[in-house]
Amino acid sequence: MRPSRPTIHQFAKAQFSSLGASAVDLCVTALLFRLAGLSPFWSTAIGAVSGGLLNCVVNYEWTFRGTDRTMRGVAIRYIVVWIGSILFNAWGVKLAVGLLWGGTTPPLAGFMAVRIIVSIIIGIVWNFMLQKKWVYRI
């Protein structure tokens, strides 16, 4: 079955919103990992929080604008999905880094590549589907 035009348009808007949030997330993640020396888990989790705040507001105002939900109602559901996303991202990165580099600290480029790949997978499989069907109910 082929997705409808509104679904494709909404998916494109969600990906654009996610791109901006991801830029914030990845910058914070890289700075915390490289400059502050935080672990991959904590730098990923804190970066995800910073990007998630931006993503929630943009999705409410633009991507899923047709919702009849209040900002408070959206925020509560978004936080539930967001917590899952943060945990999946942080644990996914931790697992991948452990598999690829064992107990050693990965190079920044390798760490960020893993972070981006995990983020894309979680963004499509978890974030978009739950935001569309449960958070904003579109």
pLDDT tens-digit profile of 5-19? 667 888 888 888 988
Give the distance, in angstroms, between the CA of residue 45 and the centroid of all CA atoms in the same chain: 10
User: What is the gyration radius of the CA atoms in the chain, in angstroms?
Assistant: 16
Give me 128's structure tokens: 């978009």
Mean pLDDT for 69-93 is 89
Copy the structure tokens of residue 49.
Answer: 């929080």
Q: How many domains would you assign to the chain?
A: 1
For the record, the structure tokens of 131 come out as 């935001």
Q: What are phi and psi of 38, to 5 degrees?
A: -70, 160
Which structural domain range is residue 80 located in?
5-135
36: helix, strand or coil: coil
Among the listed residues 25, 32, 6, the one whose alpha carbon sits nearest the alpha carbon of residue 85: 25
Res. 65 pLDDT band, cuts 50 70 90: confident
